[in-house]
Amino acid sequence: MTDMLTVISPTGATKKGYDAGLSDEELLHCYRSMLLVRSFDEICLKLQRSGRIGFSIPNLGIEATQVGAASAMRKTDWIFPSYRDFGMALYHGIKPVDMMHNMFGNAEDAAKGRQMPVHFSFVDPIHFYSISSPIGTHLPHAVGAAYASKVRKEDTVHLVSFGDGGTSSSGFHSGMNFAAVWKAPVVFLCQNNGYAISCPSEDQTASDGYAIKAQAYGMPHQTVDGNDLFAVRDAVLAATERARKGEGPSMIEAVTFRMGGHSTSDDPTKYVPKEVVEKWKKKDPVERFRKYLQKRKLWTKELEETMRAETLAEIDAAAKTAEKTPGPGLETIFSDVFAEVPDHIRSQGEFLFDLSKRRGEADAGDGEFPL
């Protein structure tokens, strides 16, 4: 594995004179964003276990990678996230309630209930590309979008995030190759959390880490401590600056660990040794950043208590709002596909609305197909 970049020590110290380029307010925003992720996780786990949502993806332990990378991106840039990137959205001001609408798949969900939970997509206040379940398929999408922005001569960088399992997909290899050949302004961020669901890294690749795979495609690479927010931020900033200069793509491997299951549908105790979990708990990224803030005299116990209470209340309120929001209208089965509804689709819609009216279903309205 290539030398790993680390900025914040386990005690919260940085090298003398180090400047992350963030104001005190921005540093506290980073910390609050990580706490928001933890609160979102906590509430979603309870919602799933109580049968109120069907699915969620734990982010515990990956927060510094998400927020560190997001802090290096401009709001005019594009993020092509994996499904474990809640912090990227929250850092850039995506409202938790809008994320919760997706978790419930209701009428206010941007995808109108057509996606699984956790598959967020937003255009404001940042371009947050739709999350995709099939592993690696979004990498070529990111490269295509990056190449398009290059052709249009836009000052835009595209960050694409994926797990270690994503490096075994065909999308990873084709995306890396095209990005390098075209010198597309894209940053590949591999979140190496040790397991592709239950498959450990040693059973996934014979390479010495994942960042080195970029060498075969002719692009620079960097391995960073993924539990160190500044290490991730610095690496992504350097990669975005390189991309903006027209020097092409870069790959970053953030070595981290998810301290929970792949999703709320699996049991990590069946495949992750207990001692591995205990080792990584001592590297908790939120605790490390808290220690840094403490050394900067930006943290107090009272601030901690206030932030934790506020973030939990914000997510709880978002969940309650989303749960009370009605489901998508019946017509959304047919909308957003054709500019003008073709005859065969119209006949299906008319049949469905008529049938629903005869059944007395409220969604059918007066029984007329509205499109």
CA distance 210 to 226: 13
127 found inside a domain: yes
Let me know whether 39 and 167 are in one domain.
Answer: yes
Quote the percentage of the chain above a pLDDT of 70. Answer: 99
- Output the DSSP codes for 21-74: S--HHHHHHHHHHHHHHHHHHHHHHHHHHTTSSS-----TT-HHHHHHHHTTS-
Return the CATH number at 301. Answer: 3.40.50.970
Same domain, 156 and 247: yes
Residue 370 lies in a domain: no
pLDDT at 363: 87
The predicted structure's pLDDT at residue 333:
93
pLDDT of residue 247: 98
Residue 167 lies in a domain: yes
Half-sphere CA count of 113, side-chain side, radius 13 A: 19
- Could you tell me which residue, 363 or 193, shows the higher pLDDT? 193
Within 10 angstroms of residue 163's Cβ, the number of other Cβ atoms is: 24
pTM metric for this prediction: 0.95
- pLDDT tens per residue, range 213-268: 999 999 999 999 999 999 999 999 999 999 999 999 999 999 999 999 999 999 99
Q: Quick one: 181 and 301 in the same domain?
A: yes
CA distance readout (Å), 100 to 59, 118, 320 = 15, 9, 9
- The pLDDT value recorded for residue 114 is 93
Residues spanned by the domain of 110: 4-324
First to last CA, the chain: 57
What's the pLDDT score for residue 1? 67
Would you state the structure tokens that stand for residue 160, as one six-digit string? 């694409």
The reported pLDDT for the residue numbered 168 is 96
Mean pLDDT of 9-38: 97
Are 185 and 50 part of one and the same domain?
Answer: yes
Any idea what the Cα angle at residue 62 is, between residues 186 and 194, rounded to 5°?
90
User: Which contiguous run of DSSP H or E holds residue 188?
Assistant: strand 186-192
Same domain, 14 and 163: yes
Report yes or no on 371 lying in a domain.
no
Alpha-carbon distance of 10 to 174, in angstroms, equals: 38
* Co-location of 252 and 134 in the same domain: yes
Rounded mean pLDDT of 116-136? Answer: 94
* Whether residue 17 is found in the same domain as residue 143: yes
Average model confidence (pLDDT) across the chain = 96
Alpha-carbon distance 226 to 253, whole Å?
8
- Whether the ω angle into residue 10 lies within 30 degrees of 0, i.e. cis, is no
pLDDT in tens, 168-182: 999 999 999 999 999
Shared domain for 312 and 183, answered yes or no, is yes
Whether residue 2 has pLDDT greater than 80: no
Supply the pLDDT for residue 365.
87
- On the question of pLDDT at 108 being above 90, the answer is yes
Nearest to 155 by CA among 270, 75, 81: 75
The DSSP annotation for 284-314 comes to: -HHHHHHHHHHHTT---HHHHHHHHHHHHHH
Structure-token match 């591999």, residue found: 190
Q: Report the C-alpha gap between 30 and 347 in whole angstroms.
A: 52
Q: How many domains does the chain have?
A: 2
Same domain, 334 and 202: no
Residue 83 — very low, low, confident or very high, per pLDDT cuts 50/70/90? Answer: very high
Do 291 and 159 share a structural domain?
Answer: yes
Say what the pLDDT of residue 362 is.
85
Predicted local distance difference test score (pLDDT) of residue 286? 98
Q: Indicate which residues carry an active-site annotation.
A: 258, 262, 271
Whether 369 is covered by a domain: the verdict is: no
Tens digit of each residue's pLDDT (9 = 90 or more) over 34-61: 999 999 999 999 999 999 999 999 999 9
∠ Cα 165 169 175 (to 5°): 115
173 and 254 housed in the same domain: yes
Sign of CA dihedral 274, 276, 281, 282: positive
Amino acid found at 326 = P
Residue 356 maps to a domain? yes
Q: 130 burial class (0-12, 13-18, 19+ CB within 10 angstroms)?
A: middle
Cα(71)–Cα(30) distance, integer angstroms: 8
What's the confidence (pLDDT) of residue 224? 98
**Which contacts qualify for 200-205: CB closer than 8 Å, 24 or more apart?**
200/271, 201/164, 204/164, 204/165, 204/167, 204/168, 205/164, 205/167, 205/168
353 residue type, one letter: F
Is there a domain that residue 165 lies in?
yes
Please tell me whether residues 230 and 343 are part of one structural domain. no
Q: What is the pLDDT of residues 315-339, one digit of tens each?
A: 999 999 999 999 999 999 999 999 9
Per-residue pLDDT tens for 289-307? 999 999 999 999 999 999 9
